Structure 1
Amino acid sequence: MIQILKTPEDLRHYAAQLRAQNKTLGFVPTMGALHDGHLTLARAALGQCDECLVSIFVNPKQFAPHEDFDRYPRQLDQDATLLESAGVGAIFAPEVEIMYPSDFQTMVTVGEISRPLEGEFRPSHFAGVSTVVARLLLLVGAHKAFFGEKDYQQLQVIKQMVKDLAIPTEIIGVPIVRETSGLALSSRNAYLSAQERPIADQLNKILHNMASEFQSGTAIPDIEQNAQQKLQDLGFGKVDYITIRDAQTLLPPTEDTTQYRILAAAFLGKTRLIDNIGI
């Protein structure tokens, strides 16, 4: 039977049991509404560690006032069933007042890597992510923590934070899990209407077209402009970005760039979709 842990004391007791058995712990932080992408992270954790702990916490600090905090799906019982079937031993599912007591005053901000792209369009987002992830990593004390590459910039921010703060948990990136159409799995895909789904499927195809154009020598500004136009022609609304960046800095490439990443964020109806691929 999967354990549901609610408090730091519960976590300490769970961790003490693992230490007594000399077992390693893999950690997967989530906001719930789990899909096969999350389960892939759990399987990766169980492949590298003796046990896996998944946290389920819809973090209010990473949502701006106009975003979807109130309507974000919450389905703990369903999520617990999925995780138990995947072999996960425990879930940490704290209430907001446990994560952020009334006297909580600290926010964690990461510098340069958090400023472009998501940082431009969701300026408070990464401070909320960094704060909750730092708190979770310190509470859980796992040997390794697993994050999906769909949120590529988030992964880089967390790696930088863990390095800077010397948090003794190894951060592991796991490749994006996709539907057969190429659409990246996301809890927010549930917001898409039946009419929007086939349009959403085109996002990843456009990224791959951008990669082909880049490899054939087309200028980056032309590639980006054409891609944005294609999205809008398909029926996407506001395009926050669709761009080719240095994979390490997430800034526009320079002559020193050796690894590239194509990243996109765009609205389809009320749903904000993100995706990325390496070149």
Structure 2
Amino acid sequence: MRTTTERREAIINRLNREGTVKVLALAKEFNVTKVTIRNDLDYLEQKDLLVRSHGGAMQKPVQFLESTNSLKGQQHLPEKKRIGKKARDLIFAGDAIVLSAGTTTEQVVKGLTGIENLFLLTNGLNILTAIGHMTGITAVCTGGNFHQDSLSFSGFLAEESLEKYNLDKMIVGVDGIHIDQGITTHSEHEARFYNAVLKATRKCIVLADSSKFGKVSVHKIMPCAKIDVLITDDGINSEYQQRLTKLGVEVIVV
């Protein structure tokens, strides 16, 4: 059975696809009571993510709906902040980096002020928004097809943009890390973009809180051996840490 957060994310994703959702249908789909679904919808309305309607809810009529990201951003936030802070220590003046869309990577942005002559390419609308009026950063968006659920761009234009620059580092968040299955994501378009980024950059830095270990999503990005640096929190299983180290991955625990 899905957790409350996972169920609410799925409701928002369904809403983005179909425009409306019904309490009865959702209760049957997730095998929970109608009261539980009504509580979910009330919560999501309070978060300004949807509008309640008779017997269900409808999509909030705004241009950019921060749906899944708003919910994901609340999960493991202290760990994400520590991971993001450590990742900033690996970014230097004059670097050219790719910073992927995501809630963990967003924490990286918050401390980039003061790094001079930094070139930052991103497929994340949330990353561009977080940069705001920071000085010393040349920020470029990949463009491409926009995905409301993740506030990210992908597709041919996004992948083609990578060919225009000499890029030092990729700094990315992921959905799952498994020793045998590698780095995975639930999104096919994200997997394609990450593969293109991997080919275009010289160093791969993966950010993942310890809840991601052992998880496998449907689309494979790369084997663990392709990671140069992995930054995670102290909840990582010691066996995972040892096996990753044997694969040549520098594991940084914060």
Compare the two structures and name the one with the higher strand fraction. 2
Structure scoring higher RCO (CA < 8 A, sep ≥ 6) equals: 1
TM-score past 0.5 threshold = no
TM-score scaled by length of structure 1: 0.28
TM-score scaled by length of structure 2: 0.30
